[in-house]
Amino acid sequence: MSALKYAVHAYAWTGHWSNDTLPIIDRAKRIGFDAVEIPLMEPDDVDPDAIRRRAADAGVELCCSTACGPGTDVTHDDRSVREAGLAYLERCVDLTADMGASVFSGVIYSAIGGRVGGLPADEHWRRSADALRQVARHAAGRGVTIGIEPVNRYETFLVNTGAQAMRLAEMTGEPNVAVHLDAYHMNIEETDFYTPTLTAAPRLCHFHMSESHRGTPGAGTVDWTEIYRGLADGGYHGLVGLESFVEVAPAMQAATCIWRPLAESSDQLLTDGLAYLRALEQVIYHRV
């Protein structure tokens, strides 16, 4: 019996979600995933009713994610941009709830790729925490947990480590603000894999099982044993997911920086990676 629920990010197969990509849900189920992560980057094209029905028919769960952009940056100096960011995040929460999901996470605390002219100031942290506090209160009424995903220094100036994500979550003061770790980013920013995983486990809502080169888990430098030890020792029984890219759409090329094939196909990468991680889970969780 698995202690974890394995999701796959829809970006494994598409760079843009719409009703045309609904068959991804069935494809994920055939490979053996328990859930599908729906991207909300283009909310106008997200049909929550259609997604909910398709997922129910397939027997899979759902979660959602996004990344704020320059026009929705909740740390921006311009109040109107911060307000646009707040409205966008609340809309994402509603889409998440409407499709029957309960976890919405990602780079929701500042603009992806954003830069400042030095170290982040207290004002950046305060603005981010203030916005996420409002989003969390809205999300609580919809039965949604929001997750802060640390990403590497080249993708954000604000939250690069699990400790920083925990700090920001605590600054909001809201119990439904959680942490979403990602092994790809941890491989760049953390000094080890076990400690941040164990520390975040009580507040964890999701974990991207992304290899150091975003290829097949087990084929890079991520210490998966230490991650699973941290999850097991921390008593985590929740959502984890594969976020890997092989069939990269041109619109995603610059964002993912995938310039070579990392597997024969997305299906092959995901099948092999899922088998590797499930086998490791059985060894580590049964050890506890």
Place of tokens 């990010």: 9
pLDDT at 210: 96
Beta pairing class for 204-208 and 103-111: unpaired
b/e code 149-188 from CB counts within 10 Å (16+ = b): bbbeeebbbbbbbbbbbbebbebbebebbbbbbbbbbbbe
Q: Which of 61, 155, 243, 281 is catalytic?
A: 243
Beta pairing class for 61-68 and 103-111: parallel
Give residue 154's domain range.
5-287
Can you give the three-state secondary structure of the chain, one letter per residue? CCCCEEEEEHHHCCCCCCHHHCHHHHHHHHHCCCEEEEECCCHHHCCHHHHHHHHHHHCCEEEEEEEECHHHCCCCCCHHHHHHHHHHHHHHHHHHHHCCCCEEEEEEEEECCCCCCCCCCHHHHHHHHHHHHHHHHHHHCCCCEEEECCCCCCCCCCCCCHHHHHHHHHHHCCCCEEEEEEHHHHHHHCCCCHHHHHHHHHHEEEEECCCCCCCCCCCCCCCHHHHHHHHHHCCCCCEEEECCCCCCCHHHHHHHCCCCCCCCCHHHHHHHHHHHHHHHHHHHHHHC
Beta bridge partners of 204: 179
pLDDT at 68: 97
Residue 149: active-site member: yes
CB 92 within 8 A of CB 64: yes
What is the number of structural domains in the chain? 1
List the structure tokens of 208.
């991207």
Tell me how far CA of residue 223 lies from CA of 7, 205, 220, 246, 263, in angstroms. Answer: 20, 20, 9, 22, 20
b/e code 83-93 from CB counts within 10 Å (16+ = b): ebbbebbbbbb
Query: Computed from CA positions of residues 49, 50, 53, 58, in that sequence, does the dihedral angle turn out positive or negative?
Result: negative
Residue 123: active-site member: no
CATH value at residue 80: 3.20.20.150
pLDDT at 109: 98
pLDDT at 40: 98
pLDDT tens string, the chain, 288 residues long: the values are 789 999 999 999 998 999 999 999 999 999 999 999 999 999 999 999 999 999 999 999 999 999 999 999 999 999 999 999 999 999 999 999 999 999 999 999 999 999 898 899 999 999 999 999 999 999 999 999 999 999 999 999 999 999 999 999 999 999 999 999 999 999 999 999 999 999 999 999 999 999 999 999 999 999 999 999 999 999 999 999 999 877 666 666 666 767 777 767 889 999 999 999 999 999 999 875
pLDDT at 199: 98
Q: Which of 61, 149, 155, 281 is catalytic?
A: 149
The closest alpha carbon to 189, from 154, 217, 224, 214, belongs to: 154
Radius of gyration of the chain, Cα coordinates, nearest whole angstrom: 18
CA dihedral 197, 129, 102, 9 (to 10 degrees): -60
List the structure tokens of 232.
């097991």
